[in-house]
Structure 1
Amino acid sequence: MNKSDPISLSFHDACLRMSDVQLLRGPQWLNDQILSFYYEYLSHIKYKNNDDVYFVTPEVTQCMKYMDDSELKIIFEENNAALKSFIFFALNDNETAEAGGTHWSLLVLSRPEKSFFHFDSYGNSNSIPSMELISKVKDSLGVRQAKFRPMRCLQQANGYDCGIHVICMTEHIADYVNRYEVIEGLPLLHMDTVLSKRSELLKLIISLGGRE
């Protein structure tokens, strides 16, 4: 047990320490733990009754890069991925099996549109990692013919907000597909949403019993 960095909140498969929560207070790059927590929240609370969406946490997305087809098949079967219309991958440019990396982007499979949509708040800097992940998972997901579609999206105004953009875009897209069942036509995210999200996340963590 790490007494110098106690746990703030355990929530399903996510564990936030006080140091993780502190990242939300200032101009800091968000780590795997914060994004994983939010994906767990979307899966288990906000969209728990929506069988069309599946949120793949950053750690699992990272591990998928190094799995063989049989391992991928097991994970996808456990999560009924074949039945999900929209699958969200929180993607990092990390090239090792450990946590890390320098940039987050969002990759979303839309089965109805037979496409992998890529949303990158910093130009197309994660295009190569996203295409590598697609080539890794498309057979196991039964979408061999799906196209790669880099999408225009709101760009970050600094060097550290990519994780907040991924969190905001995930929710923005999930709300949209909940209503329209496609990603095509998605309006741009508002910068106000990005600017207010850190304080919203802090309030959410406290509301779920987290310690500040």
Structure 2
Amino acid sequence: MASTGPTVLSYNNCLLRRSDLALLEGPRWLNDQVIAFAFEYFEYDLFKDFSDDVSFIGPDIAQFIKLSQDAEVGMFLESLNLAFKQLVFLAINDNDSDTSVGGSHWSLLVCSRRDSTFRHYDSSGSFNEHAARQIAMKMQPHVGLEKAHVMFAQEQCTQQENCYDCGLFVICNAEHVCKHHFQGTPLTGAVTQASVTRKRGELKELILQLAAQDDVK
């Protein structure tokens, strides 16, 4: 979904327009830009104290990894120093085209060096498992894990009760997995349909607050 309208916020490498913000104002499917913003906010603000140990890879790069040749993936990922990260988060989409924006579902893939496992959190059963496995196989040589010891786990997680909240589940699952790993907060029960619904308003308010801060600089 292409962004349109005036710019609302420029945040690090992410540009949000009025149409992006509107996705948070009602029961709508989130696009690449909103998820990319959340991941950048996690990396550069909320979890900045753990920046040496965690990396958040947004939808555009995850899609590139999935659809590109192994050599291209290696050249691109080398600069990210992923082999030294404890956790790597990726936002996964089921779109198989490299020429158009699309897809119908988001899920979260987490690479954990602690137990050499790619963990897939999918709020719609195993809908995106094939795409997640594709990316995990391409990521393995670049995250400091030996192929013989790498595992893939389809994690149990709260399931969405509608057809449009998958992107919010990705954001909420990523936040709480990171909190659990680095801050020891409980993971079980942390993400519910109610908390995901609240996250829409919280994200909108956060974006507007950051935009207001930019205006006064």
| TM-score, normalised by the number of residues in structure 2 | 0.89
Distance 1:179 1:137 in 2: 26
Secondary structure of the residue aligned to 1:208 is helix
**Structure 1 segment 25-64 matched on structure 2, within 5 A:** 25-50=25-50, 51-64=52-65
**Structure 1 segment 18-29 matched on structure 2, within 5 A:** 18-29=18-29
2:16 aligned partner, one-letter code? L
1:9 and 2:9 matched: yes
Q: How many residue pairs align between the two structures?
A: 205
Secondary structure of the residue aligned to 2:142 is coil
Structure 1 regions of 5+ residues with no counterpart?
none
The residue number in structure 2 matching 1:100 is: 102
Distance 1:22 1:53 in 2: 30
Distance 2:184 2:200 in 1: 28
Q: CA deviation at 1:193?
A: 1.5
User: CA, structure 1 residues 115+157, in 2 after alignment: closer, same or farther (shift >3 Å)?
Assistant: same
Secondary structure of the residue aligned to 1:149 is strand
| TM-score, normalised by the number of residues in structure 1 | 0.91
* Residue from 118, 128, 131 that aligns with 1:129: 131
Structure 2 regions of 5+ residues with no counterpart?
none
The residue number in structure 1 matching 2:151 is: 147
Secondary structure of the residue aligned to 1:176 is helix
The residue number in structure 1 matching 2:77 is: 76
The residue number in structure 2 matching 1:192 is: 194
Instruction: Indicate conservation of the 8 Å contact 1:154/1:191, yes or no.
Output: yes
- Percent identity between the aligned chains? 39
Q: CA deviation at 1:180?
A: 4.2
Distance 2:69 2:127 in 1: 26
Distance 1:112 1:180 in 2: 14
